[in-house]
Amino acid sequence: MKIYGSMLCPDCVKCREELDKAGITYEFLDFGENLQNLKDFLKIRDGNPLFDEARREGKIGIPCIVREDGSVSLEWNM
């Protein structure tokens, strides 16, 4: 599982804490560490209607979870 986000985002921090506590393995792709992570996220977000509400509200849409099967979610509760 991949998670796109930023450690400046409280929701991303909470997501990581909960996944760590549950022992779930993931790769966190932080925008602040690598701009390629941001570019890859924008490719996912800009063409996906899942993010329509976030865009309308001026939000980013993170944390963005991409599961092994390629499905995309904004919910991290397993």
pTM over 0.85: yes
Each residue of 41-61: pLDDT tens digit?
999 999 899 999 999 999 999
78 pLDDT above the threshold of 80? no
Domain boundaries, the chain: 2-73
CATH class of 2-73: alpha beta
Contact in structure between 54 and 2 (CB atoms under 8 Å): no
The residues that bridge with 64 in the sheet, in sequence order, are 4
Q: Tell me, what's the pLDDT at 13?
A: 96
Give the pLDDT confidence of 6-48 residue by residue, as tens digits. 999 999 999 999 999 999 999 999 998 999 999 999 999 998 9
Q: What is the pLDDT of residue 76?
A: 79
